[in-house]
Chain A
Amino acid sequence: MNDILTANRVSKQYILGMQQVPVLHEIDLTVTKGEFISIMGPSGCGKSTLLYLLGGLDTPSSEKILVKGKNIADMSDKEKSVMRRNNIGFVFQFYNLVHNLTVRENILLPIVMDGKRASDYKQKLDEILDIVGLTERADFTPCELSGGQQQRTAIARSLISDPELILADEPIGNLDSKSGTEIMELFRHINKEIGNTIVQVTHSHEAAKGT
């Protein structure tokens, strides 16, 4: 009953010209509440594809993915976007922040897009800014931040709607080793202290340690 995410025989293939290119073949995966899982493998093996399928950003070619018991394949685009706002936090390698919004506005984006009042989340926002260490940078735009700080902003955005599951695609792939270590410490802290379940895709054995 503690399963947050279940993937049953998930396959994915792309069509290139006249050819079908298989990327994933009958993957089974179960993620239980509170876990911190690392998906590792060589480049091009389909790690990111699997993560995007799990988060409803792409559609599997066969079988099903259940997020909290709901099959993603049966959801409309609108239902998937609601799920991404409320149940899943995404962290990307290239941060995916809106450049003309401040750190504070970027973090509140899923809340505002969900039709909630940003003012109701002021205390939670302050707590999250404190956790990710960006209280002093809350009114800066992404261009004024380092890579590590931008990734912290993306992590804060993934936490604002209190999702049970965070999906991270190469979260330290674009960072220097010091910033990368800090980001991984932050993820471990979030997993242990806040209790969010985390699934990350990574090349780095260092990043996968302790997951």
Chain B
Amino acid sequence: MAYNTACYSSLTMYSVCMSKKQLVNMLLWELLLSCISIGLVSIVSGFVLSEYYLSKAANGTGLVIDFQFGIVTMLVILAVAFIIHAITTAFPINRLKKLNVMEELRYE
């Protein structure tokens, strides 16, 4: 669904106002911004949930859980977010490079 929306929007933008290079740049910027924002949200929400809610809930039952956050964990989260987004961005970019505008517009 997201893939089709990205392809349709790219076709629309190309047909009225953008070059293929601009579209590829736009998709790459979206990739960078979305993986940074998702990575940050994941890190912050993970920290808040574990430190303030899960720990307290576990303490209530007598369990003591000591959550630890290292820089490596955070970098792994960012890397995973980046890889997932890179894969989902690669498909529209690949299709964009092979875009046959005539066919796409005609059989849209």
Contact = CB atoms under 8 A, between A and B. Distances in A.
A135 interface: no
B13 interface: yes
Interface residues of B, number: 20
B22 A81 contact: yes
A52 B14 CA distance: 12
Contacts, number: 65
Interface of A: 48-49, 52, 57-58, 76-78, 80-81, 84-85, 90, 92, 94, 96-100, 109-110, 113-114, 157-158, 169
Interface of B: 5, 8-9, 11-22, 101-102, 105-106, 108
Contacts of A76: 19
A92 B17 contact: no
Given A81-B22, A99-B5, A92 B15 contact: yes
A92 B105 contact: yes
B21 A110 contact: no
Nearest to A109: B17
A100 B30 CA distance: 15
Given A81-B22, A98-B9, A99-B5, A49 B102 contact: yes
Contacts of B11: 96
Contacts of A84: 15-17
B17 A57 contact: no
B99 to A, nearest CB: 10
A59 to B, nearest CB: 10
Contacts of A157: 16
A98 B13 contact: yes
Contact of A57 (B18, B22, B101): B101
A66 to B, nearest CB: 20
A97 B9 CA distance: 8
A183 to B, nearest CB: 18
11 contacts: A48-B102, A52-B105, A57-B102, A76-B19, A94-B105, A96-B11, A99-B5, A99-B8, A109-B13, A110-B17, A113-B17
